[in-house]
Amino acid sequence: MPKGGATSLIPVYAGLREDLDMFLKAFLDIRSQRFSDYKRLFQQREMMLLHNGRSDSAEIIEFNEHLLVSCLPYMEEKICPGTPRCLEERLLDLYSLYTFFYTQAAGHVVKIRIDPDSSRNFRQFTKLLLELKIYDAYMACLKLCEDKAFKYVAFLQVFDPSQFKRFGAASVPKPPIVLANVNDPFARFIHSTSKVGVKLQVSGLFS
């Protein structure tokens, strides 16, 4: 465990945004709106490897939470005020939400955290897909809603200190062993809780 304990660990979702941006660029290059083309690209780029390297349950769950939440910004109608987002980019978000949600490892399935703004964007996008007759994307929306894949929250980020994850680190660090005199052969028993150390302390030898 590095100095500072679990608080100084590299986040389990480090580099996730860069991976999704590269995947977005590749999807835009194929100029498609179909889930079949998305699936083929997803397999070619081996996107499932994003889950590798995490064995602790807390790490897997937190990574899944951030992975799903990181997809939501691509669904927004505008990149920034006055700059609309293209339909293919929004479709990538939907397909990614659908794929990553249903490929979670058993026992570590989390719901998609969604705030009021993201919920409104999702509903409006669902209506737009029906109007444009992009039925494979529209059915993905219905499937997510039918399976109750969303968890409605006030904020996408978690601010509850009780949800802080230590990734298996000890809650109370063990105190270091202190030797009063390294040249004294009995010094190691001074702070010992063993039977020998207790007997020596009770006898008053080290009082």
- E strands, the chain, in order: 78-80, 83-84, 112-114, 150-152
Residue 34's alpha-carbon distances to 4, 10, 66, 84, 173, in angstroms, are 47, 36, 25, 21, 53
Beta bridge partners of 152: 114
Q: What is the mean pLDDT of the chain?
A: 76
Token pair 């705030």 is found at 115
pLDDT score of 67 = 87
pLDDT band at residue 187 using 50, 70 and 90 as cut-offs: low
- In tens, the pLDDT along 120-179 reads 888 999 999 999 999 999 999 999 999 999 888 877 766 555 455 554 455 555 555 555
Pick from 137, 16, 115: nearest CA to 71: 16
Q: Where are the domains of the chain?
A: 5-163, 175-207
Amino acid making up residue 69:
V
